[in-house]
Amino acid sequence: MAILNFSDVLKNVGLDPKDVKLIRHALSDERFRECYKAGMAHEYTQHQKDGFSKGYSYWITFISDGGTYARLHSCYRVNGSVPDTPDVCPAGLPDCEAMEYRGEMAFFDLQYAVRWFSRSLRIAYIPGDVYFTPEFPSIVKSRLLKEDNAYSVILKLDKLRHFIFLNDPVPFSQKRDQAVFRGKIRLSRIREKFLQKYFGSSICDCGVVGRNEGYPEVWMTPKKTIREHLDYKFIMALEGNDVASNLKWVMSSNSIAVMTRPTCETWFMEGKLIPDYHYIEIKDDLSDLEEKLTYYINHPVEAEQIVKHAHEYVAQFFDVERERLISLLVMDKYFQMTGQNNN
């Protein structure tokens, strides 16, 4: 009788067994069991010790199935990790696991969307910040908000940086009557214009973080944590290389995002946001910032309605299974529209 080893299975699908880390989850473990019951085994797997994936590009997970048996659950490609600060804790994670997010471990970005499709299918993928229109149908993280963007096919990519949601304990009424901005400028003209106009203003606590790239030294300020941002009623969400990466967590907080009209969008569909309903919109020249902030400081009921509407908008991204299904449907549509058969 021939014996089939799991390493043979991996080789058969083109994976080097030395590049694959095997993980066995036990239902006898209370934390895993609670996450599994909540449909969040994937999110539980993402939370590991720093360096857990060193030397491995793929993880394959199993779930205990009595005695020494286990059943195959998932296969992931590892795309990177960030510290497990409370800010990156997935929404809806059971408390027994959520309380472990203390910045001492790591939260891994695990790719799964294309693993259900035939290996013979091909995609065009443009990584990183995309501020142009592809010449052929391509998978991207972001696309320009313009009519000829049909070749820009969005997937929920770079999730660890862009899709962070918070549980903000500070009510809007108890926050400081100011806006806050901390970030890099790089090639962002809107951020540079903002610093030129409002650095040192009483209405805004703003500054540049990181290495000085040729801007006034006085602009250089210490970083603020996400939690420190939440002390302010208003948080600037200014586009950088593409979208404002802080917009998602700002809209999930009890502060209000302040920004110009978006010029590009991600899976978050920034182009669907309604000005002065989901966020406070300011003119492209930033000239009405102080006027708009003063208005909402003096009209707190209207301001808190914006907070409420923002929470309603971000809530649609909390359903993990729905998000996964939509990702699969996007890929299926991509293969159909590019004339490929998914057999």
Structure tokens at 105: 């471990």
Q: What angle do CA 299, 304, 308 make, to 5 degrees?
A: 155
Region 86-107: mean pLDDT is: 83
Instruction: Give SS3 for 250.
Output: helix
Region 178-205: mean pLDDT is: 91
What is the rounded CA–CA span in Å between residue 259 and residue 171?
21
The strand pairing partners of 236, in sequence order, are 258
187 CB contacts (<8 Å, ≥6 apart)?
241
Band (pLDDT 50/70/90 cuts) for residue 229 is: very high
Q: Which has more pLDDT, 230 or 108?
A: 230
What is the per-residue pLDDT for 308?
Answer: 97
User: What domains can be seen in the chain, in order of their start residue?
Assistant: 6-111 (no CATH), 120-163+323-343 (no CATH), 165-315 (3.40.50.2000)
Closest of 193, 207, 218, 181 to residue 293, by C-alpha: 181
pLDDT mean across residues, the chain: 87
What is the rounded CA–CA span in Å between residue 253 and residue 236?
13
What is the per-residue pLDDT for 119?
Answer: 67
What is the rounded CA–CA span in Å between residue 145 and residue 130?
12
Q: Does the structure show a pLDDT above 80 at 41?
A: yes
What is the per-residue pLDDT for 313?
Answer: 96
What dihedral angle (degrees, nearest 10) is formed by the CA atoms of 184, 188, 194, 199?
30
The strand pairing partners of 342, in sequence order, are none
Percent of the chain with pLDDT over 70: 93
Task: Give the tens place of pLDDT for each residue, 102-158.
Answer: 888 888 877 664 556 776 788 888 877 777 888 889 988 889 998 888 899 998 876
Closest of 253, 194, 187, 266 to residue 225, by C-alpha: 253
Task: Give the tens place of pLDDT for each residue, 323-342.
Answer: 888 988 898 899 888 888 65
Q: In angstroms, what CA-CA distances link 42 with 100, 110, 111, 261, 336? A: 16, 8, 10, 35, 28
Count of beta carbons in the 10 Å neighbourhood of residue 123:
16
What is the per-residue pLDDT for 42?
Answer: 85
For strand 58-64 and strand 20-25, is the pairing parallel, antiparallel, or unpaired? parallel
Q: Let me know if 262 is exposed, middle or buried by CB neighbors in 10 A (0-12, 13-18, 19+).
A: buried
- Which segment of 72-86, 107-121, 160-174, 265-279 scores lowest on mean pLDDT? 107-121
What is the rounded CA–CA span in Å between residue 245 and residue 161?
7
Closest of 180, 189, 283 to residue 237, by C-alpha: 180
Task: Give the tens place of pLDDT for each residue, 276-309.
Answer: 999 999 999 999 999 999 999 999 999 999 999 9
**Could you tell me where the beta strands, DSSP code E, fall in the chain?**
20-25, 47-48, 58-64, 70-83, 106-111, 138-140, 143-144, 152-154, 176-183, 204-208, 232-236, 256-259, 264-265, 280-281
66 CB contacts (<8 Å, ≥6 apart)?
none
What is the rounded CA–CA span in Å between residue 171 and residue 108?
31
What is the rounded CA–CA span in Å between residue 49 and residue 21?
14
Sign of CA dihedral 9, 322, 38, 254: positive
Percent of the chain with pLDDT over 90: 40
Q: Does the structure show a pLDDT above 60 at 86?
A: yes
Query: At how many degrees (to 10) do helices 289-298 and 300-315 cross?
Result: 100
